[in-house]
Amino acid sequence: MASRNVEKLVSIDAQLRLLAPAKVSEDDKLVEYDALLLDRFLDILQDLHGGEIRETVQECYELAAEYEGKYDPKILDDLGKVITSLDPGDSIVVTKSFSHMLNLANLAEEVQIAYRRRIKSKKGDFADESSATTESDIEETLKRLVGQLNKSPQEVFNALKNQTVDLVFTAHPTQSVRRSLLQKHGRIRNCLTQLYAKDITPDDKQELDEALQREIQAAFRTDEIRRNPPTPQDEMRAGMSYFHETIWKGVPQFLRRIDTALKNIGINERIPYNVPLIQFSSWMGGDRDGNPRVTPEVTRDVCLLARMMAANLYFSQIEDLMFELSMWRCTGELRVRADELLRTSRKDAKHYIEFWKRIPPNEPYRVILGDLRDKLYNTRERVRALLADGWSEIPEEATCTNVEQLMEPLELCYQSLCACGDRLIADGRLLDFLRQVSTFGLSFVRLDIRQESDRHTDVLDAITKHLDIGSYKEWPEERRQEWLLSELRGKRPLFGPDLPKTEEVADVLNTFHVISELPPDNFGAYIISMATTPSDVLAVELLQRECHVKQPLRVVPLFEKLDDLNAAPTAVARLFSIDWYKNHINGKQEVMLGYSDSGKDAGRLSAAWQLYKAQEELVKVAKQYGIKLTMFHGRGGTVGRGGGPTHLAILSQPPDTINGSFRVTVQGEVIEQSFGEEHLCFRALQRFTAATLEHGMHPPVSPKPEWRALMDEMAAVATKEYRSIVFQEP
């Protein structure tokens, strides 16, 4: 045990020391950052646990560092003696101290990387981190497309405003760091960044140093381990906190940067505010594949929580806009609307806030926004009551029920300002707000529902047995399709309340009932994991109809294992050949590809190659039937789950597989490193947008026949070797 502890300690120290470069350049602040954090922590450690513990930690640190330099067994033995001499209480403190020191070293490195990136940006040097082979600055991408690849500025503008990137946030247990600690780490980063600002005063420095010590101590005193597993609602709140803290403000800031980049290539138009350049979806509270804690009630709560959060943010934003838009010049259309609202408010103020009555009639924009503010207040309070009690006395007509009710008055204000010569004002906070509404809607994020195909089979089996027409499970695929299509083309109800239900069957049906009861803008796609056949898709279409889903969710088959990926083009071709289905999807289909399960099934090399070939074949099938295909990439953070550099991952997709429409999961374990800070959020949005644009306008070349033959040969060998170890080795 002592030997393992010593090895771990040496490993931690080696990581700490490797962060420090041998020579410190003017731009490299890492040693300074690291030394400051370590010094402050050791002082705190002494205050909390006494000088002896501090000396022990320093002695362990120095011995580990000395061993790393000399690899002398005597030094390792001395280190082991120090550790084994500690009583259990002190050993816990020492272990926690080294864990905390490693966290601080990581924070120092993050601040240093951000510092170096700012220096490079000021110098205009993007050759290192923003090159075409690592990640892409949006302005550099636009300039490269125009200057090096001979695209016209108008072509670039048209391609950009017609593309959509949909980032799908998922909950995942490998994000082991508690949100409380992540926030404290964020504040430590901020303090460190401000401490080294050039224009800082001595008083500011002293106050920041105190704040830094406070946050270091708070992080050290915080339990690193969750003592209770998070509920799906907890996961959703944690995910939504990123929207509140960085993404909400980050989206309009990023779109403004695109406007600036377009100006620099000669386009004097802004990206239209109603163009969904960036969209956000979520699996938190909707992904029930293998998770018994995600129930229909959880899905309902998560949708209402997101709606309440959106209404609350819009409500705050409207108040700021009302303060800003104090102008009196307006169009006749806006004046008529304002006068009508003033008359209405005097007749019935029951559902209006007292502030309403204080709006002067000669400030028409405030009248329009005041009405919208009241509706948002009612929306928030109605949803709050529905969450708490299941009902609300606020009538639905006094709230915003769809995004058009929110957009229309804002557009009216925007057009009026532009018509009256106040475009400069219109293109300020109001434009940002319009873009936020267009991006987030009333639902904040659209919730995907994910369920395993076998669960739908169980429901249909219960139905066919109840109807005395046999066992759906035992039917061959052809008979399943024939029966499903006959029911989809008909109009009779398939089952009633007398259907015998197991707990699992009731859960599936109740999920569809929740989808039918909530506003349709709450939901995105219905994803079928472990999909293998056309009947898997048709089954969900039928269940949506039977459960009275008025606006059916688009149904997305998820092909995961190697055999499923091989069979995917044939299954999709069969679906497209069905007249009912082709008419139903209105020329659009989404297919999800599973990176994690395919890697676990065949190994990374074989999975990556099969994913590539499957996409090529799926695109061929879609073109044959005149369908626009969207690929949904289920990538994780680690290499084994499809992770890797975002820019390279997008550019390496086969030609014609993106075409301005890219959908990808942002797994729970990487959300923090992509969206935990404002600058990280900006970079993430930039990477996805720039790479999607570049792939569409300058697609990669297809592999040569000899490359394909070699990859096929390598993949066959790799699969055999991988499976011989993972599946056949006892």
Q: Which residues are catalytic?
A: 172, 600
- DSSP secondary structure letter of residue 428: I
What angle separates helix 562-576 from helix 604-625, to the nearest 10 degrees? 10
Q: Tally the residues of the chain.
A: 730
- CA distances from residue 124 to 139, 198, 318, 578, 694 in whole angstroms, order as listed: 11, 20, 38, 55, 21
Helix (H) or strand (E) holding 630: strand 628-634
Token output for 720: 């055999």
Token output for 458: 């169980």
What count of other Cβ atoms lies within 10 Å of the Cβ of residue 433? Answer: 22
Instruction: Output phi, psi for 669, to 5 deg.
Output: -75, -10
Comparing CA positions, the residue from 539, 544, 314 lying closest to residue 436 is 314
Rg, the chain, Cα only: 29
Helix (H) or strand (E) holding 557: strand 554-559
What count of other Cβ atoms lies within 10 Å of the Cβ of residue 290? Answer: 10
Name beta bridge partners: 529: 452
Beta strands in 21-173 (DSSP E): 164-169
- CA distances from residue 684 to 87, 279, 681 in whole angstroms, order as listed: 46, 13, 5
DSSP conformation letters of 260-311: HHHHTTT---PPPTT--SEEEEE-TTTB-TT-TT--HHHHHHHHHHHHHHHH
Token output for 70: 């000399």
Strands 278-282 and 588-594 come out as unpaired
Token output for 58: 């320093």
Burial track 247-281 (b if 16+ CB lie within 10 A, e otherwise):
bbbbbbebbbbbbebbeebebeebbebebebbbbb
What count of other Cβ atoms lies within 10 Å of the Cβ of residue 476? Answer: 9
Name beta bridge partners: 527: 450, 556
Strands 446-452 and 164-169 come out as unpaired
Spatial contact of 304 and 387, defined as CB atoms under 8 Å apart: yes
